[in-house]
Structure 1
Amino acid sequence: MINDSINIKAQTEVFDVVIVGSGAGGGMAAYTLSRAGVKVCVLEAGQNFDPADPKNITQLKWPYESPRRGASTTRPFGDFDAAYGGWDIDGQPYTRKSGTTFDWFRSQMVGGRTNHWGRISLRFGPDDFKRASIDGLGDDWPIGYDDMKPYYDRVEKLIGVFGTNEGLRNDPDGQFLPPPKPRLHELMIMKANKKIGIPTYPSRMAMLTQKINDERGKCFYCGQCGRACMAYADFSSSSVLIKPALATGNTTLITHAMAREVVTDPTTGLATGVSYVNTLNLQEYTVKGKVVVLAASAGETARLLLNSKSSRFSHGLANSSGVVGKYLNDSTGASRSGIIPALFDRKRYNEDGVGGMHIYTPWWLDNKKLDFPRGYHIEYGGGMGMPGYGFGWGIEGMNGKAEFSKNGKAKAAGGYGSSLKEDYARYYGASIGMSGRGEPVVREDNYCEIDPNTVDKYGIPVLRFHYKWSDYEIKQAKHMQDTFEEIIHAMGGIPNGKKPGPETNYGLAEPGKIIHEVGTARMGNDPKTSVLNSNCQAHDVKNLFVADAAPFVSQGDKNATLTILALSLRTSEYILDQRKKGNI
Structure 2
Amino acid sequence: MSIQIKKQATKYDVCIVGSGAGGGMAAKLLADAGFKIALLEAGPDFDPANKEQRTQLRWPWESPRRGAGSTRPFGDFDMAYGGWELEGEPYTQNENTEFAWFRSRMLGGRTNHWGRISLRFGPLDFKRKDFDGKGDNWPIGYEDVKPYYDKVDKLIGVFGTKENIPNEPDGFFLPPPKPRLHELYIKKGANKAGVPMIPSRLSILTKPVNKERGACFFCNQCSRSCMAYADFSSSSVLVKPAVETGNVDLYVNAMVREVLTNGDGEATGVSYIDKEDLRDYEIKAKVVILAASACSSARILLNSKSAQHPNGLANSSGVVGKYLHDSTGSSRMGFIPQLMDRERYNEDGVGGMHLYTPWWLNDSKDLGFTRGYHIEYWGGMSMPAYGFGFNTQALKEIAGDTSRNAYGTGLKKDVKKFYGATFGMAGRGESIPRKENYCEIDNHTVDKYGIPVLKFNYSWSDEEVKQARHMQDTFEEVMHNMGAVPLGDKPGKETNYGLENPGKIIHEVGTTRMGKDANSSVVNEFNQAHDVPNLFIMDGGPFVSQADKNPTWTILALAWRATDYLTEQLKKGNV
Tell me the TM-score normalised to structure 1 length.
0.96
- Equivalent position amino acid for 1:527 in 2: A
Instruction: Determine the structure 2 residue equivalent to 1:4.
Output: none
Q: CA shift at 1:185, angstroms?
A: 0.7
Contact 1:367 1:375 in 2 (8 A): no
Is 1:499 equivalent to 2:496 in the alignment? Answer: no
User: Please, which moves more after superposition, 494-503 or 379-388?
Assistant: 379-388
- Equivalent position amino acid for 2:517 in 1: D
Q: CA shift at 1:498, angstroms?
A: 0.4
Q: CA shift at 1:71, angstroms?
A: 5.5
Give 2:36's match in structure 1, choosing from 35, 39, 48.
39
Fraction of identical pairs, as percent = 64
1:550 and 1:65 map into 2 onto residues whose CA distance is 39
Q: Deviations over 1:165-221 (max 9, x none)?
A: 100110000011000000111111112211221111000001000011100001000
Give 2:509's match in structure 1, choosing from 518, 527, 530.
518
Contact 2:389 2:411 in 1 (8 A): no
Q: CA shift at 1:411, angstroms?
A: 3.3
Q: Deviations over 1:62-95 (max 9, x none)?
A: 1101111255520111111110010000000000
1:208-223 equivalence runs, <5 A: 208-223=205-220
Aligned to 1:374, what secondary structure does the other structure show? coil
2:353 and 2:291 map into 1 onto residues whose CA distance is 28
Instruction: Determine the structure 2 residue equivalent to 1:95.
Output: 92
Contact 2:21 2:108 in 1 (8 A): yes
Instruction: Determine the structure 1 residue equivalent to 2:332.
Output: 336
Q: Deviations over 1:285-338 (max 9, x none)?
A: 000000000000000000000000001100000000000000000000000010
1:8 and 1:309 map into 2 onto residues whose CA distance is 18
Is 1:64 equivalent to 2:61 in the alignment? Answer: yes
1:426 and 1:199 map into 2 onto residues whose CA distance is 31
1:229 and 1:533 map into 2 onto residues whose CA distance is 36
2:412 and 2:14 map into 1 onto residues whose CA distance is 59
Instruction: Determine the structure 2 residue equivalent to 1:191.
Output: 188
Give 1:142's match in structure 2, choosing from 139, 142, 145.
139
1:122 and 1:69 map into 2 onto residues whose CA distance is 36
Q: CA shift at 1:426, angstroms?
A: 1.2
Q: CA shift at 1:9, angstroms?
A: 2.9
* Root mean square deviation, CA, Å: 1.2
User: Please, which moves more after superposition, 385-394 or 553-562?
Assistant: 385-394
Is 1:280 equivalent to 2:276 in the alignment? Answer: yes
Instruction: Determine the structure 1 residue equivalent to 2:11.
Output: 14
Q: CA shift at 1:373, angstroms?
A: 1.0
Instruction: Determine the structure 1 residue equivalent to 2:345.
Output: 349
Instruction: Determine the structure 2 residue equivalent to 1:128.
Output: 125
2:517 and 2:222 map into 1 onto residues whose CA distance is 42
Instruction: Determine the structure 1 residue equivalent to 2:410.
Output: 419
Is 1:530 equivalent to 2:529 in the alignment? Answer: no
Is 1:317 equivalent to 2:313 in the alignment? Answer: yes
Is 1:294 equivalent to 2:290 in the alignment? Answer: yes
Is 1:169 equivalent to 2:174 in the alignment? Answer: no
Aligned to 1:104, what secondary structure does the other structure show? coil
1:207 and 1:227 map into 2 onto residues whose CA distance is 13
Q: CA shift at 1:114, angstroms?
A: 0.2
1:100-119 equivalence runs, <5 A: 100-119=97-116
Contact 1:519 1:551 in 2 (8 A): yes
1:121 and 1:376 map into 2 onto residues whose CA distance is 15
1:489 and 1:383 map into 2 onto residues whose CA distance is 19
Q: CA shift at 1:269, angstroms?
A: 1.2
- Equivalent position amino acid for 2:403 in 1: K
Give 2:240's match in structure 1, choosing from 231, 238, 243.
243
Contact 1:71 1:78 in 2 (8 A): no
Instruction: Determine the structure 2 residue equivalent to 1:431.
Output: 422
1:11 and 1:336 map into 2 onto residues whose CA distance is 52
1:301 and 1:286 map into 2 onto residues whose CA distance is 17
Contact 2:331 2:424 in 1 (8 A): yes
Give 2:450's match in structure 1, choosing from 456, 459, 465.
459
Q: Deviations over 1:494-529 (max 9, x none)?
A: 100000000000000001000000010001000000
Q: CA shift at 1:391, angstroms?
A: 5.6
Contact 1:343 1:430 in 2 (8 A): yes
- Equivalent position amino acid for 2:512 in 1: A
Is 1:326 equivalent to 2:318 in the alignment? Answer: no
Q: CA shift at 1:12, angstroms?
A: 2.2
Instruction: Determine the structure 2 residue equivalent to 1:552.
Output: 543
Contact 2:479 2:485 in 1 (8 A): yes
2:292 and 2:280 map into 1 onto residues whose CA distance is 18
Contact 2:294 2:509 in 1 (8 A): yes
Aligned to 2:9, what secondary structure does the other structure show? coil
2:503 and 2:142 map into 1 onto residues whose CA distance is 27
Distance 1:8-1:158 versus aligned 2 partners, 3 A rule: farther
Instruction: Determine the structure 2 residue equivalent to 1:78.
Output: 75
2:36 and 2:501 map into 1 onto residues whose CA distance is 41
- Equivalent position amino acid for 1:341 in 2: P
Give 2:303's match in structure 1, choosing from 299, 302, 307.
307
Q: CA shift at 1:253, angstroms?
A: 0.6
Contact 2:7 2:281 in 1 (8 A): no
1:566 and 1:39 map into 2 onto residues whose CA distance is 22
Distance 1:158-1:72 versus aligned 2 partners, 3 A rule: farther
Q: CA shift at 1:552, angstroms?
A: 0.2
2:173 and 2:69 map into 1 onto residues whose CA distance is 34
Q: CA shift at 1:387, angstroms?
A: 2.3
1:367 and 1:54 map into 2 onto residues whose CA distance is 52
2:141 and 2:434 map into 1 onto residues whose CA distance is 21
Q: Deviations over 1:391-426 (max 9, x none)?
A: 6423x457xx64235xxxx234x5122211220221
2:61 and 2:149 map into 1 onto residues whose CA distance is 41
Q: CA shift at 1:280, angstroms?
A: 0.6
Distance 1:309-1:10 versus aligned 2 partners, 3 A rule: closer
1:9 and 1:393 map into 2 onto residues whose CA distance is 59
* Aligned positions, number: 569
1:425 and 1:530 map into 2 onto residues whose CA distance is 56
Question: Mind listing any 5+ residue stretches in structure 1 that lack a counterpart?
Answer: 1-6
Distance 1:520-1:402 versus aligned 2 partners, 3 A rule: closer
2:194 and 2:246 map into 1 onto residues whose CA distance is 54
Q: CA shift at 1:439, angstroms?
A: 0.1
Q: Deviations over 1:88-145 (max 9, x none)?
A: 0000000000111100000000000000000000000000000111110000000000
Q: CA shift at 1:452, angstroms?
A: 1.3
Give 2:357's match in structure 1, choosing from 345, 358, 361.
361
User: Please, which moves more after superposition, 468-477 or 421-430?
Assistant: 421-430
Aligned to 1:337, what secondary structure does the other structure show? strand
1:402 and 1:200 map into 2 onto residues whose CA distance is 27
Contact 1:9 1:287 in 2 (8 A): no
Instruction: Determine the structure 2 residue equivalent to 1:231.
Output: 228
1:135 and 1:192 map into 2 onto residues whose CA distance is 31
